[in-house]
Each structure stands twice: as C-alpha cells, then as structure tokens.
Chain A
Amino acid sequence: MDDTALKALLLHREVEDFLLMEADLLDDRRFADWLALCTDDIRYWMPMARNVQFNKTAQEYTREQMDTCWIDEGKETLTQRVKQLATGIHWAEEPQSRVSHLITNIRITEVTPDAAGNAAEVQVRSRFLVYRNRLHDEVDIYVGKRRDTLRKLDGAWKIARREIFLDQNVLLAKNITTFF
C-alpha cells in the first residue's frame, strides 16, 4: 500500500471515529460536550423535502437562508437548545427520551490540506438512522442524509457545517428534540 492510500485510510478512520464519538455524546445525553464539537461559526441546517415534478428536482429541498426549513441554527441558538434541555422542565424531553444515532455510509468526498499537506478540512457524507423511544410506547424513526464540513482546530476535528436531509415530506414525528 502506498503512502497516499495509507494516509486516506487513516484519515477515513479518524473521521469515522469522530462521527461515532459524536453520536455517543448525543446518545449519552452529554449535550454540552457535544456542543463543544461545533465551531463558533457552525451552520446547522435541516431543509424540508417537497414532492416536485420530475424536471424540478432542483426545487425539492427548501432553499438555504431563503425559505422555511425544519431547523436553521448557529452556535448561539444551538447553545440555547442545549440549555433548554438542561432545565429539567422542557416537557418534550422530561422525562428524557431514549435516543440512538446509527451513523453509516461515511465517505470523505473532499480534502483540503493545510500548508504541511495534512487534512485541514474535509467534506463528509453519511446516513443517519435516529431512533427515539419515549415514555412507555412512543417511537419515532428519523432517517436521512448528512453532508458535513469538518475542520481541524488545534489538532481536533470540529463540525463547521452540517446539512441534514430528512427522508420525509410530512414530518411523521410530533416534534424534533434531538440533534442529528
């Protein structure tokens, strides 16, 4: 195996480890630690999927910064959400849900190197299956695709941008109280 292939393999493992560790933080309800994985300029955006004509697929998802969407956050408002979860009186999450994030199909699609030739930023595609079980018999399953921009800051990966494409038109859950 040549150096380039080995480097790509190691980078893939590093990125995959990061995304799985992130999922563990969410599922362990360590939301403040999860928040620390987000850059200060993070954009966290979840558009809505529409049923459109075959030749209009460009209009399938609502447009960023123009249309309505499910979630559109920066660091400040993600921080507010984490604080709300910590109040203990956010009724949608009191009692707390049991959530599992299954993250698969991880693929690095672009690498931006730093001056030394090491990966400084990567574009990553993945799939998620998020299972939420709540109270005695309430179940929601959210499945979709993610496109992330991860940036290396002080030797550690951070999430600089996350686009979340939920594979639903009418949201089949009554609310969204988890992060994807």
Chain B
Amino acid sequence: MKAQPESYSSLVDADQGIVSREVFVNQEVFEQEIARIFARAWLFVGHESLIPNPDDYFVSRMGMDSVILTRDRQGNIHVLLNSCMHRGMKLCRHDQGNARALTCPYHGWSYSTDGQLVETPGELVGVPGLATHYHGQLDKKAWGLVRCPNVVNYKGTIWASWDKEAPPFLDYLGDMKHYLDAALDHRDGREGGSEVFGGVQKWRVKCNWKFAPENFIGDMYHDISHRSVDLVGIGPSVGKGRRDASRRRMTIGFPGLGHGLLGQLPHTAEDDYVPLYTKHPEVEAYFREIHAARVRNLGDRMRVQTSVGTIFPNMSFHGRQPRTIAVFHPISPTEMEMWRFYLVDKDAPQAVKDATRHYYLRYSGPAGMTESDDLENWSYATEASKAPLARQYAYNYQMGLGHAQPIEGLRGAVQSGDVSEENQRIFYSRWADFMAGKSWADLIPG
C-alpha cells in the first residue's frame, strides 16, 4: 500500500470500530509516526532516581533517537541528543554513569551541563586543536548538543517533548493525572514518594509497538491469554490467580487525549482493607498499616485506583500489582524495544521491597509468567498481519461501541463498563489526530 500523507488518519475509523492493518505493518506509516507522533508528543524518558547525583547520566530513547538524561551540578535535569555535533558519534555508550563533561571518543569534542561553566546545558566546551587547527575560528556556542526544549519532572518521572509548541505536560495529561498519581504517590496517600529499583529491563519484541499500549490501556478481554498463570496461581496471597482481586474495575478513557486505563471511578472513601501479600506476614502487616495511614491522610478527598493504564503514545503503567512503568520504543513497523522499570515506595521496609520485587519480576518482563504469553501473542499477531492478502483486512474494535458514559468529576472522561474496546478506539482516534498533523490548538482545545 502507498498511503498518501493526508490519508494516514483515514486508516482509523473509530466510529465503526475499524483499524487498518497498515497501521501495524506499513513502513511509510511507521516513518510518519516517528515524525508526527514521537517528535511532538510528551514521552516518558526516565526516573529521577536513576540520576540521583550531580553529573549522573542515564541513556534513554525518544522514538528512534538515543538521548541522554543528565542531572547538572545545579541539580537541574536535561535531555540531550546522544550524538556528537562533529561527526554524529554516539557520545554516551554506557547505559548510565557519572561524568563532569560528556567527551566524544572520536575526535574529543566535549560538552558540559554545568550551569556555572556554560550558559546552555550541553554547550561545547572542549575542542582539541581549537587554537591551532581551527585557528580559533569555531562558534562553540552554535555547536552545543541538541537539547530537548521541554523537560518535566512529574513526581520523579521525567517527561520530554521535542516540539517547542507543545502544551504544558499537565494539559497533555489532563485528568488522567489522578490515575498516574495513583501509581506514583506513596501507598499511604502522600504525594510522590516512589522510586524505581536499579536496573531497567530492555528487550526486543518482533511486534508493532502499538500492541503494547493498546493492551495496557484496558483490555480485560484478553484474560484468556493468561489462563495458564491463573491456574498455577502466582499471586502474593494464597490461592489461584495471578494477583489479588481488584474491586469495581472499569474501563475508563479520555477521548480527547488518547489516554485510558482499567481502574476505579473517583470515590471519596477508602474501601475496607482486604489482605494483600498474605504469604508474607511482614509485608501484609505493612500494607495493613499503610492502608490505615491512607484513610487518615486522604480523609474524604477524591481518590482513584489504577490497575493498568496507558499515556499516549508509548508509556504504560501498572499501579497496584505489579507496580511498574513500561515504555515501547519503535524500532521498525514490526519490531519494538520494550523497557520496564519497577516502582516501590522509597521508604518501604526492605522486606516489602524484596517481596514486591520478587513478585513483580515473576509477573512481568520477558521472563514474567504473565507477560511472556502477551509477547507471544503480539509477535504472531504482527507476523500474521504482514502478508499482502492478510493486510487488506482491518482489525475489529467494535466491542461496546456506543455504550460509553461520561464520568462525573473527571474532565473529558468516559467509562464503558468492565470489558470494552472503547479505550482502544480512543487510542487510535488520537493516533489518527496526530497522523493528520493537527495543530496543538486542535489537539488540546483550551
């Protein structure tokens, strides 16, 4: 198929619940996604706990590009393109580290993020042979590293957008904020307070990157994928199932924003405590205590609960069991690199950190007893959609079409019961809006 630029958005018919397979396998569509979505949208880049000290850096990705997340000597966080301005050499080839200056191994150009030393983070400070070979004639200020213009630290999570015109992150997030908070805030209800365990799982999956966010945006229908692990029972409490039961879980989506989740509607009182982690008495005692603190701390304030959700385009998070952040980096139309970070309350006792980490790792990641089956399904769905005949037939997203209801107390949100494909329609409508090249005024109406 040769899709014309203006026709990319026509590949999605959300009103009919139809999405063309070209969206998942077409090289041209993929290249336009990189330009129209990944170069504009707010993307998750990392977590502040990965760069706790001055001069720490962590190498991340934004779309197809390698970027460096740094903390300068003044404590400010920056996102810089990981490519030397001289010959393009990949500057940081470590996953993380600590360096006063970022020095290129090829010809030795070096860049500083130290605000005492330079005006602009990433400025070129060292050029071997500047006086002799360049005869002093090089505009160092013009040849600093490319710097991402929008970077935000939201409760420890770092987000960035390449588009100078991008709206503030909180406008982009909208009332999805409450559901992200439910993952990032301390379990006792205090704001923030979470950190990630050291080490980021990174692995390649031969599937289109969108299979992951559309799954995590709320696909209760795919429970059959996980029957084997449910039969075995890997939950932290005694009995079958892969996690402790969630109550009143609904499909909740934000049609104007492309975000969505499975979780609870806003409420103002905490549910009675239900034992969690009963296999681990010390951990169980902690969660019981934390629940009592949460009841005290939140009082009758509005709160929500998130099981799993997606922030458009490529970040998903689990808020309860497990508690993790996942990112889906596009590699090609039929390959992604998936990253997982695991979250924990910073001040939780070691026994809690240990029990939760063990549980999360047997649930998620490439060796996760739950996730390994998803990866098989996403790969072979992609594989079987590639061939010329198969790719002519659109995917069906018609479940629960026309049954979404507005949610009181949440701006622009709808709920569609416990099992629905409303959130997938929301996700692909948003995809179509970005692919149509709409302005931010149209994408985020005031």
A residues whose Cβ falls under 8 Å from a Cβ of B: 46-48, 50-53, 56, 62-63, 65-73, 77, 80-81, 83-84, 87, 89-92, 135, 169-177
Q: Pick 18 A–B contacts, CB within 8 A, sort by A.
A: A50-B199, A62-B198, A67-B198, A68-B341, A69-B199, A72-B357, A72-B361, A73-B362, A80-B233, A92-B373, A170-B202, A170-B203, A171-B204, A173-B204, A174-B204, A175-B372, A177-B367, A177-B372
Question: Would you call A70 and B95 a contact (CB within 8 A)?
Answer: no
Within 174-211 of B, Cβ neighbours of A (below 8 Å) are at: 197-207
Taking the complex as formed, is B371 at the interface, i.e. its CB lies under 8 A from any CB of chain A? yes
Main secondary structure of the interface of A (DSSP, over half): loop
Is B229 engaged at the interface, CB distance under 8 Å to the other chain?
yes
Map CB proximity to A onto B350-374 as digits: 1 under 8 Å, 0 otherwise: 0000100110011001110101110
Known: A69-B199, A84-B229, A84-B232. A175 touches B97 (CB 8 A): no
- Hey, which chain B residues are within 8 Å of A65, CB to CB? 354
How far, in angstroms, from A32 to B99 measured CA to CA in the complex? Answer: 49
> Residues of B contacting A71 with CB < 8 Å?
361, 367
Q: Is B96 an interface residue (CB 8 A)?
A: yes
Q: Which B residues have a C-beta under 8 Å from some C-beta of A?
A: 93-97, 99, 197-207, 225, 227-229, 231-234, 337, 340-342, 354, 357-358, 361-362, 365-367, 369, 371-373, 375-377, 379-380
B337 surroundings in chain A (CB, below 8 A): 170
Point out the residue from B96, B99, B205, B357 that lies within 8 Å of A50, measured CB to CB. Answer: B96
Given contact pairs A51-B94, A68-B361, A174 touches B232 in the complex (Cβ within 8 A): no
Residues of B within 8 A of A62 (CB): 198-199
Give the complex CA separation of A77 and B372 in angstroms. 15
* Closest chain B CB from A164 CB (angstroms): 11
Cβ contact within 8 Å between A90 and B373: yes
> Known contacts being A73-B362, A84-B369, A177-B372, is A63 close to B97, with CB within 8 Å?
no
Q: With A52-B97, A53-B94, A68-B357 known to touch, is A175 a contact of B371 (CB < 8 Å)?
A: yes
Q: Is the CB of B369 within 8 A of A52?
A: no
Q: A52-B97, A80-B234, A84-B369 are in contact. Are A174 and B206 (CB under 8 A)?
A: yes
**Would you call B366 and A70 a contact (CB within 8 A)?**
yes
Q: Is the CB of A172 within 8 A of B376?
A: no
Q: Which residues of A contact B371 (CB under 8 A)?
A: 175
The 5 closest A-B pairs by CB, nearest first: A68-B199, A171-B203, A67-B198, A62-B199, A90-B228
Are B227 and A70 touching (Cβ within 8 A)? no
Write the nearest CB–CB distance from B231 to chain A, whole angstroms.
6
Among the listed B93, B197, B362, B365, which residue makes an inter-chain contact with A67, where contact means beta carbons less than 8 Å apart?
B197
Among B205, B206, B376, chain A packs the most CB atoms within 10 A around the CB of: B376
Q: Are A51 and B95 in contact (CB under 8 A)?
A: yes
| Nearest chain B CB to A179 CB, angstrom units | 10
Q: List A contacts of B375 (CB < 8 A).
A: 92, 174-175
A174 touches B97 (CB 8 A): no
- Interface centre among A46, A72, A84, A176, by most chain B C-beta atoms within 10 angstroms, is A84
Expressed in whole angstroms, the minimum distance between the Cβ of B89 and any Cβ of chain A is 15
Q: For A84, list chain B residues within 8 Å (CB).
A: 228-229, 231-232, 369
Which one of A56, A66, A87, A174 lies within 8 Å of B228 (CB-CB)? A87
Is the Cβ of A53 less than 8 Å from the Cβ of B203?
no
Q: Residues of A contacting B225 with CB < 8 Å?
A: 91
Q: Which residue of A lies closest to B229 (CB)?
A: A84
Chain A residues in 8 Å Cβ range of B229:
84, 90
User: Which of chain A's residues has its CB closest to B201's CB?
Assistant: A68
A156 to chain B, nearest CB (A): 27
Residues in A whose Cβ lies below 8 Å from that of B367: 46, 70-71, 175-177
A68 touches B234 (CB 8 A): no
Q: Is the CB of B204 within 8 A of A91?
A: no
Q: Is the CB of B95 within 8 A of A52?
A: yes
Cα(A171)–Cα(B202), bound, Å: 6
Q: For residue B341, which residues in chain A have a CB less than 8 angstroms away from its CB?
A: 68
For residue A75, give the distance in angstroms from its CB to the closest CB of chain B.
13
Whether the pair A87, B232 counts as a contact (CB closer than 8 A) is yes
Chain A residues lying within 8 Å of B95, measured Cβ to Cβ, are 50-52, 169
Query: Considering the chains assembled together, what is the distance between the CA atoms of A86 and B172 in angstroms?
Result: 46
Please name all residues of chain A whose beta carbon is closer than 8 Å to the beta carbon of B228 when the two chains form the complex.
Answer: 84, 87, 89-91
Residue of A nearest to B94 (CB): A51
**How far is A70 from B368 in the complex, measured between Cα atoms in Å?**
9
Further contacts, 15 of them, CB under 8 A, given A53-B94, A68-B357, A176-B366: A50-B96, A50-B199, A51-B93, A66-B197, A67-B197, A80-B234, A80-B369, A171-B366, A174-B203, A174-B207, A174-B366, A175-B203, A175-B371, A175-B376, A177-B367
Cross-chain contact of A70 among B201, B205, B206, B373 (Cβ < 8 A) = B201
Instruction: List the B side residues contacting A92 at CB < 8 Å.
Output: 372-373, 375-376
Q: How far is the CA of A84 from the CA of B380 in the complex (A)?
A: 21
Chain A contacts for B379, CB-based, 8 A: 174
List of B residues within 8 angstroms of A50 by Cβ: 94-96, 199
Query: What residues of B have a CB within 8 angstroms of the CB of A52 in the complex?
Result: 94-97
Q: Give complex CA distance A72, B372 in Å.
A: 15
Contact B205 A68, beta carbon cutoff 8 Å? no
Neighbouring A residues of B97 by C-beta, 8 Å: 52-53, 56
